């Protein structure tokens, strides 16, 4: 029978291995592309947090209509969609709302829904994955069945139908977070369950079980720390998809409702004005692309740094 003293060296060795891993992560993020991506993400987060202050710098907000900035056909007056000293990104066709303000306020919605839905999906996936991998048997089969059902359900159709059923007064950001998060957990649950099956067979876990450790102890102190890096990487990689999902639903008109700014809704509105005012599409689409691309780069960089088979020196 293995004793606690036999299990401790394994855990100590694992903790020592974390130091070079941390140094590898630090070096990975100092490369030009990941560093640029980190700067874009940081700027986007700061813009979302300080949107009112940034909008005030231009003397505008996303809810004021500027009819004087529109021509007779309600298209923006002037070149590049009405870009001027008063309106740095131009104005929204038909309403005259300041596009710079719409873009930075739209970052609030996209990042909030993306981060919150990723957190929700991660929590559900990690809990179900660890329970399925550690307990096994009927519990594992039930989790696998729930995973298959969720993956097989048409997300877009369900989201559109659910949005139509909810009253207009319902908080749309919360609704989007719940819908996107509840459909996002199966992938991470499968990954965590597979890793948990391996972890629970390790000698130090077996020793803890023999000594009477409860499931809660194993969950918090032995399984969860060992799947943490995988969870972080998976979450970073899946985050851009959830930001894009919010934009897609808003683009289809079932996400954020006007006058709340949203990148997806701005892109959807811009389609009708594409031939008249291409600049209206340019700025929201560029913001969405840069943020999702940057999060993808950060996720890939973190995965390469933590995976010894795929990491770079």
Domains of the chain: total: 1
Burial 167-194 (b: 16+ CB within 10 A, else e): eeeeebbebbbebbbbbbbbbbbbbbbe
At 236, the pLDDT band (50, 70, 90 cuts) reads confident
Could you tell me if residue 11 is inside a domain? no
Q: What is the pLDDT of residue 188?
A: 93
At 220, the pLDDT band (50, 70, 90 cuts) reads confident
Token pair listed for 150: 């969720």
Q: What is the pLDDT of residue 9?
A: 45
Could you tell me if residue 27 is inside a domain? yes
- Which CATH number goes with the domain that contains 107? 1.10.3720.10
Give the CA diameter of the chain: 86
> Region 154-177: what's the mean pLDDT?
83
Instruction: Please tell me the least confidently modeled range out of 91-105, 138-152, 255-269, 279-293.
Output: 255-269
At 283, the pLDDT band (50, 70, 90 cuts) reads very high
On whether the CB atoms of residues 7 and 204 are closer than 8 A, the answer is: yes
Could you tell me if residue 4 is inside a domain? no
Give the HSE-up count for residue 140: Cα atoms under 13 Å, Cβ half-sphere. Answer: 13
Could you tell me if residue 8 is inside a domain? no
Percent of the chain whose predicted confidence (pLDDT) is above 90: 35
Of residues 159 and 45, more confidence is placed in 45
Q: What is the pLDDT of residue 3?
A: 46
Could you tell me if residue 244 is inside a domain? yes
> Region 117-141: what's the mean pLDDT?
92
Could you tell me if residue 55 is inside a domain? yes
> Region 303-307: what's the mean pLDDT?
73
Full residue range of the structural domain in which residue 60 is found: 19-306
Q: What is the pLDDT of residue 24?
A: 65
Could you tell me if residue 119 is inside a domain? yes
Could you tell me if residue 311 is inside a domain? no
Of residues 42 and 170, more confidence is placed in 42
């Amino acid at each position: 029978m293995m004793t606690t003293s036999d299990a401790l060296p394994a855990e100590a060795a694992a903790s020592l291995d974390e130091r070079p891993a941390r140094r590898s992560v630090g070096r990975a993020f100092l490369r030009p592309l990941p560093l640029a991506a980190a700067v874009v993400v940081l700027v986007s987060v700061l813009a979302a947090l300080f949107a009112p202050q940034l909008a005030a710098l231009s003397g505008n907000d996303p809810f004021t209509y500027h009819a004087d900035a529109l021509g007779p056909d309600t298209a923006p007056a002037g070149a590049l969609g009405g870009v001027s000293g008063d309106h740095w990104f131009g104005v929204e066709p038909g309403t005259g709302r300041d596009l710079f303000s719409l873009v930075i306020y739209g970052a609030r919605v996209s990042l909030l829904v993306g981060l919150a839905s990723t957190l929700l999906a991660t929590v559900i996936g990690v809990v179900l994955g660890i329970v399925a991998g550690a307990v096994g048997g009927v519990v594992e089969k039930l989790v696998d069945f729930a995973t298959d059902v969720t993956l097989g359900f048409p997300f877009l159709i369900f989201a559109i139908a659910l949005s139509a059923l909810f009253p207009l007064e319902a908080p749309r950001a919360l609704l989007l977070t719940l819908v996107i998060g509840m459909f996002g957990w199966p992938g991470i649950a499968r990954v965590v369950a597979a890793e948990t099956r391996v972890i629970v067979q390790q000698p130090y876990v077996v020793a803890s079980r023999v000594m009477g450790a409860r499931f809660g102890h194993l969950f918090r102190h032995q399984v969860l720390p060992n799947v943490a890096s995988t969870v972080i990487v998976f979450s970073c990689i899946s985050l851009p998809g959830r930001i894009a999902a919010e934009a897609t639903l808003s683009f289809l008109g079932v996400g954020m409702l006007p006058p709340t700014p949203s990148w997806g809704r701005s892109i959807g509105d811009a389609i009708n004005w594409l031939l008249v005012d291409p600049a209206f599409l340019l700025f929201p689409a560029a913001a969405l692309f840069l943020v999702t691309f940057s999060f993808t780069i950060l996720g890939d960089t973190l995965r390469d740094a933590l995976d010894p088979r795929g990491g770079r020196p």
